[in-house]
């Protein structure tokens, strides 16, 4: 019989709806039930494309004996971390403080007052590699609750007080300047892997936000070393197994230092961020491989993640059926030499193996290889390689596809809107701009209420029940601002303003700090507040960036002051931990450059206007905002009092609404930028 999760919309929760565990969703009723029964709460947090979440589910939550042990002694609560990032953040902080590490599935035992007292992540069904079994953990917690309640309550009380007492050193007054940004560049250089690209060792994650900082730093200062780190890292990732050489798009991370073997799940946010990085690298260098990867990644998002309602799904799983009925990580993507021969014939299979790095021993498991691109095809082989790729892709489509998490997350769709709008504009792909517009329409229609408050998720065109958090407001505003620049439609600027006014009203703290949840959000044991990047820009620094861009568009001193206040934390953390506050550093680069405001006035049908507009959008200038349209059209404040020049289209380059002399020649505009 299905449990209570059968009524939820989260694909992750629905995956557990038929478990013998009597799961509850996160709710007041669940904790009331624990209080009524006088038992602890077992909190299990994960997400639908999490490999080890699936493993623990199959091993333990689908096991009748283990389920009976859970049901008899606990109230079991299942949370989708992508729907409730606030719940995840609060208890992950406790897990990391207690154990020194974190991850998913996250397993936490709570009192009926939601106070945590025992922590872990994945537990196996029997003792393994020094880890206790999950039944042993359950029995130990049950015994402690029954026989040592005073000790349990004391631990829980101490943890809650410790979390509540933590104060964030946000950096005090002032914004980061030349010294802090130079220090951040130096720190990144020390951590840079000059042989393989990227930063640090294994596992190696795409450093999207740090790369954006380096691109902006190069654009502002001309620092060639910053640009070289970006170019080499982007080339290494695009040639590695982390990038899907047949279908485009990036996997979550590489398990090795050389980007060879990915963790095969594909996330919307990674691909949106990386699509934008490669497009911005093209701006700086004109690199044809960067252009190709940006477009292939955009096409991947549209082809494989777009929902029928026009939004973008969250993720593709890592696992799928390997053809024998077993769900295996990477089964959809990897190849053996024999499989190449079956599809291509011996001669083309030999060329494909050399081209994609497929070996007899394999680079993955059981003799299979992840496709890489160790070398470019020569001119003589280019057509043949293109044919090989098309045939392999067609053959791969016959395999069972990985599962897809179809929920639409507001923040991640905001990132996708920005990436698709910019990529479409840069590379003359109006279809991508149209897909971005459709996703933005969905967010307005389904996720925003009449007062512009956001809902975190939707599925099948139906809004979920969880309130948007700071990153939702910030990233959706970022997407709307990008769409305004690309389309020339001022309504998107207006929508961004609605969201950012709510950030000022509902998420701010004293001294420029920001909270991840609104003032009137559900009260947890701690109000989450984290300025550091994780897989995506933090809500804090994303808000700083959107506030700064909106201020540049409108001249609003309130929004600019809020952006500057939020950047105090970057002054403190940037030189010490640049990999974890890369987006904040990128925003600081925009602030130091102005950011510049570019107004292009004229008739959209005029080819000179279109070329001026294209030149403005293609500028690598850090954080520049672009407004285009007829003079004094009312769509954008930047267009006010910006006339044509001798009846011809013109571009104005401004800072703080003070402009240089207008230019009418696109080449001259490019030189100014």
Secondary structure of 457-507 as H, E, C letters: EEECCEECCCECCHHHHHHHHHHHHHHHHHHCCHHHHHHHHHHHHHHHHHC
- CATH code of 275's domain: 1.50.10.10
Question: Does residue 173 form part of some domain?
Answer: no
Residue linked to tokens 């709710």: 27
- Strand order across the beta sheet in which 462-463 lies: 408-409, 457-459, 462-463
Domain-embedded: residue 123 = yes
Structure tokens at 566: 């939020």
Under the banding of pLDDT at 50, 70 and 90, the label for residue 632 is: confident
Residues 303 and 348 in one domain: no
Measured between its terminal Cα atoms, the distance across the chain in Å is: 64
Q: What would the mean pLDDT of 533-539 be, rounded to a whole number?
A: 95
- The answer to whether residue 510 sits within a structural domain is yes
Q: Are residues 455 and 545 in the same domain?
A: yes
Q: What is the pTM of this model?
A: 0.95
Q: Are residues 390 and 513 in the same domain?
A: no
pLDDT tens digits along 639-671: 999 999 999 999 999 999 999 999 999 999 999
What is residue 599's three-state secondary structure?
Answer: strand
For 209, the token pair is 């936000």
pLDDT of 172 higher than 60: no
Tokens representing residue 578 in the block? 């640049």
Band (pLDDT 50/70/90 cuts) for residue 275 is very high
User: Residue 459 and residue 248: Cα distance in Å, rounded?
Assistant: 25
Strand order in the sheet with 404-405: 266-267, 315-316, 404-405
Question: What whole-number distance in Å separates Cα of residue 40 and Cα of residue 62?
Answer: 21
Residue 167 has pLDDT above 80, yes or no: no
The Cβ of residue 262 has, within 10 Å, a number of other Cβ atoms equal to 27
Number of domains in the chain: 4
Q: Give just the sign of the alpha carbon dihedral 435, 438, 442, 448.
A: positive
Contacts of 131 (CB under 8 A, 6+ apart): 123, 124
The percent of residues in the chain predicted with pLDDT above 70, rounded, is 99
In a domain, 328, yes or no: no
Domain-terminating residue out of 359, 374, 398? 398
Residue 139's Cβ-side half-sphere holds a number of Cα atoms within 13 Å equal to 9
Q: Is position 326 within any domain?
A: no
% of the chain surpassing 90 pLDDT: 88
Considering all CA atoms of the chain, what is the largest pairwise distance in Å, rounded to the nearest integer?
88
Residue 434 inside a domain? The answer is: yes
Same domain for 36 and 130? yes
Q: In the predicted model, what is the mean pLDDT of the chain?
A: 94
For range 208-218, the mean pLDDT: 98
Label the pairing between strands 75-80 and 41-46.
Answer: parallel
Per-residue pLDDT, 598: 98
Instruction: Express each pLDDT in 70-100 by its tens digit.
Output: 999 999 999 999 999 999 999 998 888 777 7
Q: Let me know if 228 is exposed, middle or buried by CB neighbors in 10 A (0-12, 13-18, 19+).
A: middle
Query: What is the per-residue pLDDT across 129-138, written as a single tens digit (0 to 9) for each?
Result: 878 999 999 9
* Angstrom distances, CA of residue 380 to CA of 92, 349, 355, 386: 54, 17, 13, 12
Domain coverage including residue 196: 178-317+405-593
User: At 169, is the pLDDT very low, low, confident or very high (cuts 50, 70, 90)?
Assistant: low
| Residues 295 and 211 placed together within one structural domain of the fold | yes
Tell me the mean pLDDT in the region 119-138. 90
Residue 339 lies in a domain: yes
Q: Do 445 and 584 fall within a single domain?
A: yes
Is the pLDDT confidence value at 170 over 80? no
Cβ partners under 8 Å of residue 7, min gap 6:
none
- Taking the C-alpha atoms of 94, 520, 550 and 181 in order, what is their torsion angle to the nearest 10 degrees? -20
235 in the same domain as 104: no
Q: Evaluate if residue 173 carries a pLDDT over 90.
A: no
Strand partners, 42: 76, 109
pLDDT at 381 over 90: no
Please answer whether residues 34 and 391 qualify as being in contact, where contact means their C-beta atoms are separated by less than 8 angstroms: no
Burial pattern 639-663, b for ≥16 Cβ within 10 A else e, equals beebebbeeebbbbbbeeeebeebb
User: 208 and 135 in one domain?
Assistant: no
| SS3 (DSSP) at 451 | coil
Give yes or no: residues 371 and 473 share one domain: no
Check residue 379 and give its pLDDT.
Answer: 75
DSSP annotation of 242 reads T
Q: What one-character DSSP code corresponds to residue 622?
A: T
Joined tokens for residue 350: 């030999």
Q: What is the 3-state secondary structure (H, E, C) of 76-111?
A: EEEEECCCCHHHHHHHHHHHHHHHCCCCCCEEEEEC
Q: Structure tokens of 139?
A: 């029995």
- Domain containing residue 42: CATH number: 3.40.30.10
Say if residue 448 is in the same domain as residue 568: yes
- Using DSSP, state whether 357 is helix, strand or coil: coil
**Co-location of 383 and 455 in the same domain:** no
Asked whether residue 368 falls in the same domain as residue 293, the answer is no
* Higher pLDDT, residue 617 or 171: 617
Angle between helices 557-566 and 490-506 (to 10 degrees): 60
Please check whether residue 324 lies inside any domain of the structure: no
The pLDDT of residue 64 is: 95
pLDDT band at residue 310 using 50, 70 and 90 as cut-offs = very high
Q: Does residue 512 surpass a pLDDT of 90?
A: no
């Amino acid at each position: 019989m299905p449990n209570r999760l059968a009524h939820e919309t989260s694909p992750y929760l629905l995956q557990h709806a038929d478990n013998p565990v009597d799961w509850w969703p996160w709710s007041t009723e669940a904790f009331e039930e624990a209080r009524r029964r006088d038992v602890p709460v077992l909190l299990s947090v994960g997400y639908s494309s999490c490999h080890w979440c699936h493993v623990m589910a199959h091993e333990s939550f689908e096991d009748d004996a283990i389920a009976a042990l859970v049901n008899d002694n606990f109230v079991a609560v299942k949370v989708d971390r992508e729907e409730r990032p606030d719940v995840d953040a609060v208890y992950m902080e406790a897990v990391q403080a207690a154990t020194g590490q974190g991850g998913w599935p996250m397993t936490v035992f709570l009192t009926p007052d939601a106070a945590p007292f025992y922590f872990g992540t994945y537990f196996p069904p029997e003792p393994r590699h020094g880890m206790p079994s999950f039944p042993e953990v359950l029995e130990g917690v049950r015994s402690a609750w029954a026989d040592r309640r005073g000790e349990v309550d004391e631990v829980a009380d101490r943890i809650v007080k410790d979390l509540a007492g933590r104060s964030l050193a946000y950096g005090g007054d002032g914004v980061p300047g030349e010294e802090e940004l130079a220090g951040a560049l130096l720190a990144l250089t020390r951590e840079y892997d000059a042989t393989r690209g990227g930063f640090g060792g294994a596992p190696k994650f795409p450093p999207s936000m740090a790369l954006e900082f380096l691109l902006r730093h190069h654009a502002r200062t001309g620092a060639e070393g910053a640009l070289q780190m970006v170019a080499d890292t982007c080339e290494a990732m695009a040639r590695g197994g982390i990038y899907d050489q047949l279908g485009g798009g990036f996997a979550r991370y590489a398990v090795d230092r050389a980007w060879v073997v990915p963790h095969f799940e594909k996330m919307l946010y990674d691909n949106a961020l990386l699509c934008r990085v490669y497009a911005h690298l093209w701006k700086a260098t004109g690199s044809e491989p960067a252009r190709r990867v940006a477009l292939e990644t955009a096409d991947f998002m549209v082809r494989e993640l777009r929902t029928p309602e026009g939004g973008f799904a969250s993720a593709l799983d890592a696992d799928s059926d390997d053809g024998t009925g077993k769900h295996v990580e990477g089964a959809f993507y990897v190849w053996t030499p024999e499989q190449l021969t079956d599809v291509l014939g011996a001669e083309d299979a030999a060329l494909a193996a050399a081209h994609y790095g497929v070996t007899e021993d394999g680079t993955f498991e059981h003799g299979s290889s992840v496709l890489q691109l160790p070398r470019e095809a020569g001119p003589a082989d280019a057509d043949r390689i293109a044919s090989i790729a098309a045939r392999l892709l067609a053959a791969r489509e016959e395999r069972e596809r990985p599962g897809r998490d179809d929920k639409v997350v507001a923040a991640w769709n905001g990132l996708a809107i920005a990436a698709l709008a910019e990529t479409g504009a840069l590379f003359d792909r109006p279809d991508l701009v149209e897909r971005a517009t459709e996703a933005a329409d969905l967010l307005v229609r389904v996720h925003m209420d009449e007062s512009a408050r956001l809902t975190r998720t939707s599925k099948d065109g139906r809004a979920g029940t969880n309130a948007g958090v700071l990153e939702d407001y910030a990233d959706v505003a970022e997407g709307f601002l990008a769409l305004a620049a690309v389309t020339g439609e001022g309504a998107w600027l207006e929508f961004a303003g609605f969201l950012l006014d709510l950030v000022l009203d509902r998420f701010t703290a004293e001294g420029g700090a920001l909270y991840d949840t609104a003032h009137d959000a559900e009260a947890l044991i701690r109000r989450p507040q984290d300025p550091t990047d994780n897989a995506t820009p933090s809500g804090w620094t994303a808000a700083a960036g959107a506030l700064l861009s909106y201020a540049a568009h409108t001249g609003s001193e309130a929004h600019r002051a809020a952006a500057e206040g939020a950047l105090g934390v970057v002054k403190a953390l940037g030189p010490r931990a640049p990999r974890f506050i890369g987006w904040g550093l990128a925003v600081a680069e925009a602030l130091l450059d102005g950011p510049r405001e570019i107004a292009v006035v004229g008739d959209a049908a005029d080819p000179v206007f279109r070329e001026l507009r294209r030149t403005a959008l293609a500028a690598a200038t850090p954080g520049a905002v672009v407004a285009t349209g007829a003079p004094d059209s009312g769509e954008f404040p930047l267009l006010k009092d910006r006339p044509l020049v001798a009846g011809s289209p013109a571009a104005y380059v401004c800072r703080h609404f003070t402009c240089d002399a207008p230019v009418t020649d696109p080449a001259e505009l490019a030189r100014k930028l």
